[in-house]
Amino acid sequence: MSMPAMKSEAAVAAPAASAPAEIVTMTPKRAPVAEKYLKMAKDAAVRVIPPLIVLALLLLFWELVCRRAGSALPPPSRVFKETKELIFDPFFDRGGIDKGLFWHLSASLQRVAFGFSLAAVAGVALGTLVGQSVWAMRGLDPLFQVLRTIPPLAWLPLSLAAFRDGQPSAIFVIFITSVWPIIINTAVGIRNIPQDYRNVAAVVQLNPLEFFGKIMVPAAAPYIFTGLRIGIGLSWLAIVAAEMLIGGVGIGFFIWDAWNSSHISEIILALFYVGIIGFLLDRMIAIVGKFVTRGTAAN
Amino acid sequence: MTTQPYLKLDHIDKTFTRGNATTEVLKDINLTIEKGQYVSIIGHSGCGKSTLLNIVAGLTNATQGGVLLENREVNSPGPDRAVVFQNHSLLPWLTVYENVKLGVDKVFSSTKTRAERDAWVMHNLNLVQMAHAKDKRPAEISGGMKQRVGIARALAMEPKVLLLDEPFGALDALTRAHLQDSVMALHQKLGNTILMITHDVDEAVLLSDRIVMMTNGPSARIGEVLEVPLPRPRKRLELATNASYLKCRQRVLEFLYERHRFVEAA
Ligand SMILES: Nc1ncnc2c1ncn2[C@@H]1O[C@H](COP(=O)(O)OP(=O)(O)OP(=O)(O)O)[C@@H](O)[C@H]1O
Ligand SMILES: [Mg+2]
């Protein structure tokens, strides 16, 4: 409890202390700009160089192991040689599923965007209900706890039977995979809203809708974003697997197709892209979350 | 001066029940407060002061008895009994201005235009000298400043009764004295009816027209009510040697530390 108070005192004290000193430091302040950039470059180097070294060592190791004749997997040099065309021309489109990697990835991303958006809306709504109402929790929570353990792909046959089409089925699988962590985290966030905030809302007499928008969502935002981050990660895991089964354009089926035509190098390239995009999706939600919750997190 | 009761606490009992364990916290509390009066409730920790304030605020329901405001029973929270909470309770994601505006927008949604509401928010921030920090977030201002904003938020709702739950409890002595002076000046200027909880004997005597002393719980009652016959405006420094100030102070101290000494571990 004393932490925020100490922090805010420091925040108030700092400008006051630096005010008289400002005149003195004005002139020399301009000179260290170059120094500042140098420091930033150093910081960046410290973060970038170690993983680059590790990566180079791993590639070297892989090259040495797989270069021998009769090895089952291609070494990185051969992967590069065989997939140069795919790397440098991701936009070609020869009809059917013979398209550049850009089109496969964008098809997968669209499915994820659609399914995940539905999951976010439904997850926050259901999570709010479960977090707010004891009866909703008693009724729904056991159901959720069971349903969330069902592996994503186990839903696929059922959704194919229901929708009779690959596209909505894939979206449904994304939805059903990512909705549980969003529900559960939102519910925890809502349950943890301090009684003080509820009292403030009661004294001001906010109606339920205003209470939802002005108190619940901002107060639970850090929890909601934790759920969204887990959810988007699971979506990306599920889409690749689901696409292998439903076929059509998409990175999952691209991998499956490459396996069927024994293009191992293409599989490796696709895995590389899948990893990078999964990482970017996670970072994206994290950054949005950081921006949205800056007020709440500051306390 | 007419002495028609403005706020009336009528035979209030409060029992908390968890499972089959019941604790009687408050027993037969009766109190009437006139319009414009400043009344303090003082008592040892855990005797049920906050519980009593929450009952008046409507945040907790009394087990027996009720609260009458202008002869109408009140049993749900509302802006006519605005609360300044002990730990400020500002919403951390809103700026100082937005925190005050939240209440103003609700209370005056039909009686003031947008521009008038904006001006009213700024007027109340000015009353507590916080207009300069209107775009700051609560995490960026000091504890005393937060409490000022909490007071502005409550005042801006134009409450019939202002409820203060140990409003200065978390502050250092200097800030506390400064805020006490501010609240005294505001009371003088606006004539609010105020019910305040405090731990601090000097604070109670300095600010109040009447001091309500509560016995120790469980089953806390009102032990004694003391009138403070000091004229207003009151000056902190002059009072230090004032005979009736010292006498009031003595009475409260005797009540708290001799007749109702705090026995259990806090
Ligand atoms: N929700 C609750 N359930 C059960 N008991 C409660 C509840 N709220 C308060 N109590 C009990 O009621 C008693 C009075 O609590 P209260 O918070 O009103 O004390 P207080 O006088 O405000 O104390 P302090 O000066 O420390 O703030 C305490 O013994 C507490 O344990
Ligand atoms: Mg209390």
User: Which tens digit of pLDDT belongs to each residue from A28-81?
Assistant: 555 578 888 899 999 988 999 999 999 999 999 999 998 887 888 899 988 888
CA gap A231, A176 in Å, rounded: 10
In the chain, the amino acid numbered A290 is K
Between the CA of B161 and the centroid of ligand 2 the distance, in Å, is 18
User: Which tens digit of pLDDT belongs to each residue from A179-232?
Assistant: 999 999 999 999 999 999 999 999 999 999 999 999 999 999 999 999 999 999
pLDDT at A248: 87
Chain B residues whose C-beta is within 8 A of a chain A C-beta are: 57-59, 76-79, 81-83, 85, 87, 89, 91-94, 102-103, 106-107, 137-143, 146, 157, 170
Question: Please, is A8 exposed, middle or buried when counting C-beta atoms within 10 Å of its C-beta (0-12, 13-18, 19+)?
Answer: buried
* Alpha carbon A164 to its chain's center: 29
Q: Please work out whether the CB of residue B16 comes within 6 Å of at least one atom of ligand 1.
A: yes
Could you report the predicted ipTM of this complex, rounded to two decimals? 0.88
Instruction: Provide the shortest C-alpha distance from residue B89 to chain A (in Å).
Output: 6
Fold of A81-292: MetI-like fold (1.10.3720)
* β-bridge partners, B5: B34
In the chain, the amino acid numbered B209 is D
Considering the domain B1-80+161-266, what is its CATH architecture?
3-Layer(aba) Sandwich (3.40)
pLDDT tens, N- to C-terminus, chain B (266 residues):
555 689 999 999 999 998 888 889 999 999 999 999 999 999 988 889 999 999 999 999 999 998 999 989 998 999 999 999 888 889 999 999 999 999 999 999 999 999 999 999 999 999 888 999 999 999 999 988 999 999 999 999 999 999 999 998 878 888 889 889 999 998 998 889 999 999 899 999 999 999 999 998 788 889 889 999 999 889 988 888 899 999 999 999 999 887 777 665 44
Domain ranges for chain A, please list them.
81-292
Q: Judge contact between B205 and B249, C-beta under 8 A.
A: yes
> Can you say whether the dihedral through the CA atoms of A268, A274, A275, A280 is positive or negative?
positive
pTM above 0.90, yes or no: no
- Numbered ranges of CATH 3.40.50.300 in chain B: 1-80+161-266
User: Which tens digit of pLDDT belongs to each residue from A24-41?
Assistant: 444 555 557 888 889 999
